[in-house]
Amino acid sequence: MNESSNLYFRLELIWWLATVVVVALVLLPIYTALQELFPFYVVNIVFVVTFITLTRYLFLLKYTFLQGQRYLNLTLVFLSIPAVFLLVQEINLFQTYLDENGFLSIVGSLPREQQLSMMQYIRTEMLLFGVGSVIASIVFSLRLVLYLWKGK
């Protein structure tokens, strides 16, 4: 392994560790308040990881392992199409769950004075990272198409 690929590997590892820390910080208030009652932990983790990772790749593409990997980049362009649909479907499932069951099905075990703030936090962060991950997926695939078009 040469010097630059070793540096890219260490940089990627640092970014993944930072992503894990952000995921933990985002989910910590929900976990401490609700423990296992929150049914969207996995979806929430996917939203946060997708948003952070694709946004990072969007701006720092030439400093990642994707640099010079034409077939991998082309594969990611085509994989981003179903990924966008899956992310939108998960946002829709979250919203449908809230419409059908209400927020009290999630935060009903909390004391009354904490319910409103936890409802707002959950809804805000789920929609922020959900919509952000959809937008990042779309823009990232367009960025990869541009990267492939330029032939770098």
For 13-39, what is each residue's pLDDT tens digit?
999 999 999 999 999 999 888 877 788
What is the residue range of 59's domain?
3-150
- Give the Cα separation of 133 and 129 in Å (integer): 6
Chain position carrying tokens 């929430």: 44
Lowest mean pLDDT segment, chosen from 68-72, 74-78, 142-146: 68-72
- The single-letter code of the amino acid at 15 is W
Residue 74: per-residue pLDDT: 86
For the chain, the domain total comes to: 1
Long-range interactions of 117-123: CB distance < 8 A, separation 24+: 118/29, 118/30, 118/33, 118/34, 121/29, 121/30, 122/30, 122/38, 123/98
Residue 51: per-residue pLDDT: 97
Mean pLDDT over the full length of the chain = 89
- Give the Cα separation of 135 and 143 in Å (integer): 12
- Give the Cα separation of 25 and 22 in Å (integer): 5
